Structure 1
Amino acid sequence: MQNFVELYKELADKLTLNIPDLRWVDLWNSQVYHMEEEHPFPAPAIFLAFRSNSMQDQGNKIQKVTMQVDVFIYYETFLDTFRGAYNQSDALAFLDMMDHVNQLLHGSSGQSYSSMRRVSYSPIDTGGAGNLWNIVYNCELVDYSAMKEFGEGGFKDLEVQKFDIP
């Protein structure tokens, strides 16, 4: 079954298992702007957000969804990126992480989605020492979340008797 929970878990696992330096993956809730008041997180971190771009009915309570996946990459550093800086390679490590994310996601498909394509990326001002970038992808999934789930069971108050048919 493809749905938003499965999509999040699959992408979070893909990122966590394939980017060794990554220390945190979570759903986006503007955490970067509330680090002082809320639960802090270790960096580098990736946050995922989902938006629908379009939905088409595929049947009763089934929809094909073109999904926008926002990947927010947060990399905290006080290092300098200017040419000649003694710590330039460490300071630019967040760009390597962005490339690694794109290598994993662009052109990928999984159990919960297909046709992942990068459509844009841009820096976001944090007002602090963190580099925050948003990479935007589109993908497709089939959403079955409105369908009623059926489980295995038996019949209540039913008795079966065996007899021979003449």
Structure 2
Amino acid sequence: MSVKGHTHLEISTFLSQNVEGLQYVDKDKGQLEDLSNHVFPRPAVFISFGRFEYTSTGTKVKVGKGIIRFRVAVENYADSYTGSINQQQALAFFEFNEKVHQALEGLSGTYFTNLTKVADEDDADHRNVIVTILEYECNLADDSADAKKSFVLADPELFIEHKKNLSKQVSISDTFVI
């Protein structure tokens, strides 16, 4: 599996298992731009990869520093204005955003290290779906150029046969490695 595909699966699985109330996690493909064409349960989190700048490690592995973006979508019909009878309900999405942040901050995986929040902002014009963009910086190791990466680990069985009479004297020192 690709580096970013694997990273997406690790993060989406972690969020699904660790953020109470989260109903849906997906790759951000513009689902929030036209809510009439995309039906999904809410609250939801959509993941996308921003720009990564890569440096070489001297092998076929590159290390990139960049942004992973999370769009948190919470459906909310309550009113947040001062004096509203359901103001607390209207502002509950902030609590959900904090749950997502608590799960993501410092998270590391197979190819990525320590997600660190660097920005957040409201994303407007989604009717009664409140969307917050959370951006996290991390390093991403990309070993996709290494053709040997996809090798299959074998589980060999080791057979040792002892011979009573050796044909010549064998001396094994402490530094001998098989």
Task: Identify whether the pair has TM-score above 0.5, normalized to the shorter chain.
Answer: yes
State the superposition RMSD in angstroms: 2.2
CA distance 1:2–1:103, change in 2 (3 Å): farther
Query: What residue in structure 1 maps to residue 83 of structure 2?
Result: 84
In structure 2, C-alpha distance between the alignment counterparts of 1:27 and 1:12, rounded to whole Å: 9
Alpha-carbon shift at residue 116 of structure 1 (Å): 1.3
Query: What residue in structure 1 maps to residue 5 of structure 2?
Result: 5
Amino acid at match of 1:111: T
- Per-residue deviation, residues 28-60 of structure 1 (Å, max 9, x unmatched): 0110122223x4111111000012331011133
Alpha-carbon shift at residue 106 of structure 1 (Å): 1.7
- Per-residue deviation, residues 73-132 of structure 1 (Å, max 9, x unmatched): 011111111233222222212111111111111223233321211111001112411111
CA contact (8 A) 1:10 1:112 kept: no
In structure 1, C-alpha distance between the alignment counterparts of 2:57 and 2:51, rounded to whole Å: 16
Query: What residue in structure 2 maps to residue 94 of structure 1?
Result: 93
- Residue 32 of structure 2: SS of its match in structure 1? helix
CA distance 1:16–1:127, change in 2 (3 Å): closer
The alignment status of 1:43 with 2:38, answered yes or no, reads no
Query: What residue in structure 2 maps to residue 25 of structure 1?
Result: 25
Equivalences, count: 154
The alignment status of 1:103 with 2:102, answered yes or no, reads yes
CA contact (8 A) 1:124 1:133 kept: yes
Q: Output the TM-score relative to the length of structure 2.
A: 0.78
The alignment status of 1:151 with 2:147, answered yes or no, reads no
In structure 2, C-alpha distance between the alignment counterparts of 1:130 and 1:57, rounded to whole Å: 42
* Structure 1, unaligned runs of 5 or more: 154-164
Percent identical among aligned pairs is 26
CA contact (8 A) 1:70 1:135 kept: yes
CA distance 1:59–1:52, change in 2 (3 Å): farther
Amino acid at match of 1:86: I
* Structure 2, unaligned runs of 5 or more: 155-166, 168-178
CA contact (8 A) 2:19 2:103 kept: no
Q: Output the TM-score relative to the length of structure 1.
A: 0.83
Amino acid at match of 2:89: D
Q: Which runs of 4+ in 1 moved over 4 A?
A: none
